[in-house]
Chain A
Amino acid sequence: MAAATSGTAVVSLPADDQILITREFDAPKHLVYKAYTTPELVRRWWAGRRGEVTSCEIDFRVGGKWRYVMNAAGGFEVAFNGEFREIVPNERIVSTEAYEGAPEGTDPVLNVVKFTETDGRTTLEILTHCGSQATRDAIIGSGMEGGMQEGMDIMEEIAIELR
């Protein structure tokens, strides 16, 4: 059997200060939970195609801290950190998340992650409570910047080739 493609992530905005990301996986929830919470495994997916995870620390207990660092393809580093607030094994994780490059005084957001299994398939839901609409818009906008950054990198490569 070919590797399961389960489609794309769906992003919706249930409220002014919320972002909901939903994705179905062809795997039981204890495995999705494992992939989501085990440092060696998070390292393999968290950077997407934008770079490489250079550090992934997870102190997986209520009150424990986590920190992910990615070396983006453009050469700059981005880091996020937070604290676990609630852990229900294979079911639910509540944690804070702060972007280390955010302007001073920006409150961390709160992520509520849910794992739901039906017929051996798992729906992963990440609901981000941003605290304000401005923060939500900044987070959504970061996707745009990432995309623009990639575009600019390619342009730079072309410019160098043309020199």
Chain B
Amino acid sequence: MARAATTADAFNAVAEPRRRQILDLLAGGERPVNDLVQLLGLAQPQVSKHLRVLREVGAVDVRDEGRRRLYRLNGHALKPIHDWVKAYERTWTERFDLMDDVLEDLKEKEQTDGGSD
């Protein structure tokens, strides 16, 4: 179950609201740390701390360009997390699709009963 644990850790890393904000910003493309500091309105050490957590789980990659450190999303690393939630979502989608059928029956019944329930 090592994989599940890793997924949960990565999940934990991206579940934090500020870190999710960082991922959203990086979804638009690679950005230097200063950009993120400005856009988030946080102090640089805080942003760096969040970025470090995201790097540890592989959610973001970093590269140096001259004096700038550029961060970008690593979609590949995020896919297992996405799949993880999607599988749960699918269970409920299946249930609700069947509930649609139940509701169609109830609506029909209500109409034939003249609106009384």
What is the interface of chain A, defined by CB distance below 8 A to chain B?
3-6, 8-11, 13, 16, 19, 21, 23, 25-27, 30-32, 34-36, 41, 44-50, 124, 133, 137, 139-144, 146-147
Would you give 25 A-B contacts (Cβ < 8 Å), ordered by A? A3-B104, A4-B104, A6-B96, A9-B95, A9-B96, A11-B92, A13-B85, A23-B92, A25-B100, A32-B99, A35-B99, A35-B103, A35-B106, A44-B101, A46-B95, A49-B94, A140-B84, A140-B85, A141-B4, A143-B84, A143-B85, A143-B87, A144-B83, A144-B84, A146-B87
Q: Of the candidates B93, B99, B110, which one forms a contact with A8 in the assembled complex, judged by CB atoms under 8 Å apart?
A: B93
What residues on B are CB-neighbors of A137 within 8 Å?
Answer: 8, 11
B48: min CB distance to chain A, Å: 22
Cross-chain contact of B88 among A5, A41, A46, A140 (Cβ < 8 A): A140
Cβ-based interface call for B34 (8 A): no
Q: A9-B92, A11-B85, A144-B87 are in contact. Are A45 and B8 (CB under 8 A)?
A: no
Cα separation A141 to B1 with both chains bound (whole Å): 11
Q: Is B15 an interface residue (CB 8 A)?
A: yes
Q: How large is the interface on B (under 10, 10 to 19, 20 to 34, 35 or more residues)?
A: 20 to 34
What's the minimum C-beta distance from A129 to chain B, rounded to whole angstroms? 15
Write out the residue numbers on chain A whose beta carbons fall within 8 Å of the beta carbon of B101. 3, 44-45
Across the A-B interface, the 5 shortest Cβ-Cβ residue pairs: A143-B88, A48-B94, A9-B92, A45-B98, A143-B87
